């Protein structure tokens, strides 16, 4: 049984600077629990290349073994994400934590960019299968009150997506978002 929320430790953030481990964690969040063989099929990588990555995710408490399943000639471990929601620790954040988290964000965006590019290349342009693909960068100003409202709306949207994913058997979509205050411009 997953916890509701996990606040990332510095070591967990470091563990997720690998795009492969980030991809595995998100696969388990969406489709878990899974065996390494099932993960390999899902992320289209050889299973042998994933065992080390899975052990690291487990070592740092990002995933847990939830059971075993007998396959043709051996027991296969079943893994799942530790929590449904994984978030950055509340402030204050050390400079080291911020640096590692920035690396993690880069890893997430590398995966998102690759998925987006693959979706564009594999798109069937027939009208029956056309699905909009959308990429845009927005900047806007928010007061502290509006920041709270904006983040609540994003959480509602993510919760709605999770709810649909549990009920609907349609085409899977990915959403990648970064929300952060803009850095001050240097004069």
H or E stretch at 8: strand 3-8
The Cα–Cα gap between 83 and 80 comes to 9
Q: Which domains does the chain have, with CATH numbers?
A: 3-126 (1.10.10.10)
More confident residue, 13 or 169: 13
Confidence band for 183, pLDDT divided at 50, 70 and 90: confident
Residue 153 backbone class (left: φ over 0; alpha: ψ -120 to 50; beta: rest) = alpha
d(CA 144, CA 91): 16
Per-residue pLDDT tens over the stretch 103-127: 888 888 887 888 788 777 776 655 4
Average pLDDT, the chain: 84
Q: Is the pTM of this model over 0.75?
A: no
CB-based contacts of 120: which residues, under 8 Å, 6+ apart? 133
């Amino acid at each position: 049984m997953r916890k509701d929320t996990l606040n990332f430790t510095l070591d967990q953030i470091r563990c997720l600077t690998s795009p492969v481990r980030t991809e595995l964690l998100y696969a388990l969040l969406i489709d878990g629990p899974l065996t390494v063989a099932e993960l390999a099929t899902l992320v289209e990588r050889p299973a042998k290349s994933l065992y080390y990555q899975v052990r690291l995710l487990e070592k740092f408490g990002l995933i847990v073994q939830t059971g075993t399943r007998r396959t043709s000639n051996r027991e296969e471990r079943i893994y799942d994400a530790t929590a449904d929601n994984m978030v950055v620790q509340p402030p204050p954040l050390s400079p080291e934590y911020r640096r590692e988290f920035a690396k993690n964000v880069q890893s997430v965006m590398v995966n998102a960019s690759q998925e987006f590019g693959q979706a564009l290349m594999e798109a069937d342009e027939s009208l029956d299968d056309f699905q909009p693909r959308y990429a845009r960068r927005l900047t806007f100003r928010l007061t502290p009150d509006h920041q709270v409202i904006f983040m609540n709306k994003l959480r509602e949207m993510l919760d709605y997506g999770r709810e649909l994913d549990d009920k609907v058997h349609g085409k899977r979509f990915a959403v990648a978002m970064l929300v952060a205050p803009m850095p001050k411009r240097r004069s």
